[in-house]
Amino acid sequence: MRNELEIKTDIYLHLKASELATNISGVISKTLRPNESDKEDIVISVLSDPSNQQIEEVYINVNVYVPDLKRKNQYEENTIRLNELCKLSLNALRIVSGKGYRMSLATQKIFDVPGKNEHFINNKVLYQICNE
């Protein structure tokens, strides 16, 4: 059985070695996004607790933040950049096998960040562990 921190570390290490990591302007975090960041950051969070079953299934969010573009006196979604990072996220998270685990991208959706001039790509990942 893996705990939440070990699961986050597996995903963090995989992402750090991916093309997605080399194409963002910010950081990858296993805890919180840097305060007041205006960069393209990635935040990993575990949605469900690992169970004590032989095959554990845990859902994880891998959120990729993208600042909006300023056009005259208003901001708008940076659709070109969001599309690029959606594709890189898909490539990084589509199907991955590691030591004792497997993960795959379950869903991908873009959301507005309330109160901020940015959007984020929500990559919901299914992480599976086979306990022996």
Q: Give the domains, in start order, of the chain with CATH numbers.
A: 4-130 (3.30.2000.10)
Phi and psi torsions of 12, nearest 5°: -55, -50
Chain centre distance of CA 116: 19
Please state the pTM of the whole predicted model.
0.92
Residues 1, 70 contacting (CB under 8 angstroms) = no
pLDDT at residue 9, rounded to an integer: 95
Supply 68's token pair: 């909006």
Q: What angle do CA 94, 11, 123 make, to 5 degrees?
A: 50
pLDDT tens over the chain, length 132 residues? 788 899 999 999 999 999 999 999 999 999 999 999 999 999 999 997 666 666 789 999 999 999 999 988 999 999 999 999 999 999 999 988 888 899 999 999 999 999 999 999 999 999 998 766
